[in-house]
Chain A
Amino acid sequence: MAKKPLTKSGSFPVIGQMRIRRLLAQSLRAGRAAHAYLLVGPGGVGKTAVALEFARLLLCSGDGDQPCEQCDDCRISRTLQHPDLRIVFPLPAVKKSSSSDDDDNAADALSEEIAATITRLTRDPYAATEIEKKSAVGSTALQLIKIGEIRSILHSAMLKPYQAARKVFVICHADTMNDSAQNAFLKVLEEPPEAGYFLLTTEREQMLRPTVRSRCQRIPLFPLPAEDLAKALAESGVEDAAANLSAQLSGGSVTRARELAKGDVRALQACVIDFLKASATCDPFKLPAAADALLGGESFPQHVAFDLLKLFFRDLSVRRSASAQASGLTFGESEAIVDGVLSAFPDVDSDAAARAVDECAGHLARGYTETFALYTLAIRLRECLGPRASTKHSSTRSTHASHA
């Protein structure tokens, strides 16, 4: 599969999602482009990136499978300032204040935020498209696409395009339209204007009214393969091992992979291994320190440590079942540890271990102390590892494993 990015412009890289991008381009060139698309998928897989790329293609006056980057339209659309392109995203509800001056200031701050967000998108199509709560804006935390925004879209949709042959509306987080906004929007979806194209993105498809969903062509975007992500991370200067690990843990999300790569994910991995060792022995002198280290780090949310633990047990099963070279092991060069555990505990029940990890996360969520939850986890893990193999058994097993 060709992994070459579609866009030549280095400032606008879209990662992976080749099948979807080709499909969109081909349906346009075959004259079968729908007036409304709903790009569905988890956060950070590139919904906005794909939507923006397709929007630029819709505006381009060329006829290639990608924006030609030569015509006037491409030149302007690169800055996302094309007069026939409109990008909408949820905004914090501005709290009405008693003085209208404050309202104006808040609105000004908001419009600066909007411009800044669009500028960010030109540099990085994976940038967040939700404007975070800002104290300066005086907002509540609620992020909404308001009815007023939709009305203004309806209004501009009914007019002819300004300069391109089409006009494109990109609506990020379409699910944040409230009921009345969705209702209003429905009208334009029912009878879309000839030149109007609507690209909606959402992580929470079910929050959209079925009537809205049914009028859009659904484009599912799946989590990116770890290899694509690892490669992209490595290209952006992340060290290989950390890039691999971050990609594995990211759940196929560019944004999460980047966040992980920013922290010291390798150090956390070491903590996980320490905790496993302490669990295997249930050594009362080592367990406390290992448990503290596991959840004590500031740089990652709790679930990352648990994800890593589960990945370790996943690696165990992969390693045990696959006779082939175990590629894609998360613990990568820690293969020795995986093999060591396998040979020392031939009866390890990795499914049960993964369940125990989930359970432990559940205990924490219900308010049990970390120490309590982690000690229980250690006991469970010890049970899951099963009895220690005899020395003889383990040596044959380990030889076997290293041949495999």
Chain B
Amino acid sequence: MSFFDRKPVLTDDADFVVVGTGAGGATAARVLSESGFSVVMLEEGAYLKPEDRPRELVDAMAVAVRGMATLATDSLVPMPLLQGSCVGGSTAINSGIIWRMPEDVREVWAREWGLSGLTDHKLDSAFDYIEDALAVGPTDVAIAGGNNELMQRAAEKLGLPGKVIARNAKGCEGNQRCLQGCPIGARQSMEISYVPAAMANGARLHTRCRANKVRFEGARAVGVTGTLRDENERELGTFEIRARRGVIVAASVFGTPLLLNRSGVRHPLLGERFQAHPGAAFVGAFDEPVHMGFGASQGYEIPMRDRGFKMEALALPPDMLAARLPGAGKAWQERVSKLGHYAQWGCLARMEAKGRVRAGLFDGVSVRYEPTESDLAIVREALLLVGKLMFAAGAHEVYPGIASVPEIVKTEEDLVRLMPEKLKRADVHLVASHLFGTACASSDPKRGVVDEHLEVHGRPGLFVMDASIFPTNLGVNPQHSIMGVTHIAATALAERSAARQVA
């Protein structure tokens, strides 16, 4: 049998095929399966049981983080882009932070993008439902840990509007292993919550399946084809899943536009309007023990949305924390021996920059994205405030990690004096973890790839339900907004499909 004659080793069919099991895909699968439709979920990565998630970072990242967190923008000053690559998507590696979509964003989406159906009162009901389903609540002080407690004290000292982070964690023991994967399944990420719920409703999950193309009959989407792979990306065969009612693409801001493009969907905005919340962080050395190894990975934040940023406590695994400490050799080893005396707090900026995503030679994807001068000014302001917080909390040394500032700063006055008036892109190590756009939604077919029902304009039966459809970034953590918007769109889709069935 020749390459071109080979038959798929996996075939299946269902009312709906969902590509991707992150916040969007898992929500769509759960809602549709609860409405009585048969659903097949396809996931490129593996399913990781909580007890199988390694504590050691290199092993944990190998199975759960795309490209070991080395996927980066195409630039002389590349910016790493963080994404999950297992069942649960990025919800399987995030800190479970839950924020409702801010009112100002909802207004803009409704007014400028014609998306009032996704942002009206139904969104509040969806948030209520999701918060109950994910046991959302404030971080308990008992498991807050020193990194969060110190930031709270600093915020109170400086009179900043800090708040305890609301998270989707149930029975969190403060293992500080959100990034590696919660070993007790406390964080209600999608592989713990929504994916099993969908499977309990009869949905089927196929893992290590990379979708290559959406199949069409005429303009209508009728299925998905792709390849089965082993853990080392070796191809094992092909699959073909037939969809009787629709295909839902939720393959992330990178995977979604590339899959649509490979499938022949053409739109000038496909892959465009890529947006993010890039961030940077300071490490502070304290006389008091902080013991970052215990506590919620992220339990305290200071939102400053009117200034375009938010600050967060962000505990690091020991490997990353040690790598972040300045120096090499004896001085560095002395610092590492006191690894329990450091705190790390960072900032995320709601940047105005817009980039684009294309198929690329390296790693299959090429991302162009450059922060503007105004974005960097926001980062500068935020980092300066992070430094002030650290000194207010009693840090005796702060390690800014900014090229034009000394590696070790000992006073707030020095920090203010040494911080450049204008931050250059190459001065600061930015990482982006909240990613948006690339298949944005609008009721106007000229302004959006998908419509207000999240159906691709001119392609009946093909839907996009992930952060790709966001016409703007949010300024807050996106998981809840992705789930809320998907909940509404999937519920409406189920109602329309049920009505058609009756008719």
**Do A and B come together as binding partners?**
no
A interface residues with partner B (beta carbon < 8 Å) = none
